[in-house]
Structure 1
Amino acid sequence: MDANIISGKNHNYVHGVLNRDQTVLVALFSVLFILYFIFREFLFYVAPFMPSTGINMADLELIGTFSVFGLEVVIPFMLYFIRIPLSRIYFLVTVLMLWGGTLLSILYPMYYMTIPWVIGSLVYAALTVLSLIALVYELRIKSLPLAPLILLQLISLALYIANVLTEYFAFSLGGLSPYLVYPMLYLAGIGGVVLLIYSIYILIINRINTKLILGYVSAAVLGLLMAYPLYSLTIYNSFMSHIMSMVFAMGLGILAPPSSMPLIAVFIGIYTYSIIALVISGIMNKMPMHYLIAVASLIYVTTAFIEHAIIVIFAAVLTITNLMIYLSITSKAQAMGNDHADIS
């Protein structure tokens, strides 16, 4: 059989290995994570310092709370259908930590300060680190679009482990954070540029159609709408630059000098465009990996700078990472099976 035909069939297998139920779960997971991060992780810290808008902020925070419960249901289901090395261990530890923490919060609100829970959190953090390393090993060259953000997330997890070991077990590792502030910012910046280049690259190499172009243009417009207000607010106004610097520190954990706020606004626009463009490409071209890279980028960059004080962050990082490994392994197996059938 013609090699091009075989290659084309392999291409379809590589990008079409998620069934309908799995696709629904991934979409639900993505939406729930966004709602959780906006209405729980961000708003929870920023709301007390916001001027009154006439809106009950407590009601908005409830959206984030319910999103956490939603993630606690969706994530175990997603991990259950993933078949990769250590998948059963990932599943069991995730269920124990997610639902165990929820139950303990009712029975014993101070559970998160107990040594057994701390040890469990360290184990879960270590498994999350292991999954990220496995992702690089499995994807190899295909992990390049995510490489800066994977390294960023690894540093973040290492800092969490170091801080916990210092606070609860008297290890002398607590002084690492100040030295990693700028390296982490640089990695986040490089990650945005790499995603931008990757989104343009996949547009060039795939069949271009009017709908895809309109989708990319819409993503660019949304990116501009996200970046321009903050950029115009801070480019010539040092007072607002200081205010927004504090907002970023409280809501996102990003410690950056006020003078860098206009530049951060630009990178917000780049990330917004790149992530939406990759989602559009993944949906229109039926390429789940593009969609997963977009979701992984969002999760990695939004959770890397905040304190990993809630287990659902570990669970989200672990889930999207293992889902990409699953997609890669499954697509390779199906492509090899298709090759064997064609040769036979």
Structure 2
Amino acid sequence: MSATTVQTRTEPATATLKLHSSAEGKQETEYRYSHLLPFFSQDHYPPLTPFEHIDPGHRALNHSNPRSFLDSATQITELTPNLGTEVFGVDLRALDSDGRDQLALEVARRGLLVFRDQQEFIDAGPDFYREWGSHFGRLHIHPTSGHPQNYPEIHLVYRDANSSFNFEIDDSITSTVWHSDVSYELQPPGLTTFFLLSQPSTGGDTLFTSQVSTLKKLSPQFVAFLKTLKAVHSGVEQANFSRSGKRGGIVRREPVENVHPLIRKHPVTGEEALYVNRQFTRRILGLKREESETLLKFLYDHIDKGGDVQARVHWTPNTVVLWDNRVTAHSAIVDYGDSKQRRHGARITPQAERPIPALEDLDLSF
């Protein structure tokens, strides 16, 4: 077992999610990706330890043509001027180490890449998923989500007519909750890979926003002030959500809170990005409660309303999406619930560096 999956088993593992009966009353037994259904073990993990992360995009900077991995593309379309590129004709599974380095650089620059027609990648299975993700960083094991049995590094989202294992808040008027994945970790994710194994016939899109562009919308004087600030990101609410019996009811690693700069700098591109999100950012240190709440509400509203810096990914079969959590935020759109159709997704989540403050020597202690 690798160092990234050290675990201590304290109780027998629970069973994998069982498929429910179909509308005709017959048991569904031949779901193609049943081996990737959510499994909720009782394994417990120690706290994550710091590690040195070297972004593979650095190596691509020295390549004579850092976009040569796109040479086989049959179509490349920019989804918006500043965020998102859709690609046809590139087989992600066939990329060598240099191609993956170039991919990391392109994701950092564009924030979001959408690759169509990737059935071979998706069907390659969880051993390949782990190998793929390990190229980009140490794989994160989510403390509360389901995963394929024996593959805790693969984070799953799942919803069908009878079950939901997503972090959904039922008492809100909207399912839109902008976030950067597990930003409460000391070293949150960088490049992330996500794909759907099963999807509703309509709905279930994913929204993305450029946190580089949201920052550029603000006045220079205000940005200068924001650079002096740091905020607490917390995993406590997510853990308590699971402890209440939802999402599988499992907490395998105790929740943490960490301090990150409000504005971070990308280690490869040098771009600066706003780094707060409604789901995990809790308070700005050094400000009084009312000041912190007012400022965070302004920034959340700015992110929510920035339709001119957002992109919407419509899922078609065999689509693989990659984004850089350091410079983007995203939200699932849960608009398909009444259809009772399944949405089953898998995420490969390499961790990156501790966020680098845009303001040099900013103290990130509590």
> Normalising to structure 2: TM-score of the pair?
0.24
Which one has a larger percent strand, Structure 1 or Structure 2? 2
Which protein shows a greater Rg?
1
Which one has a larger percent helix, Structure 1 or Structure 2? 1
> Normalising to structure 1: TM-score of the pair?
0.26
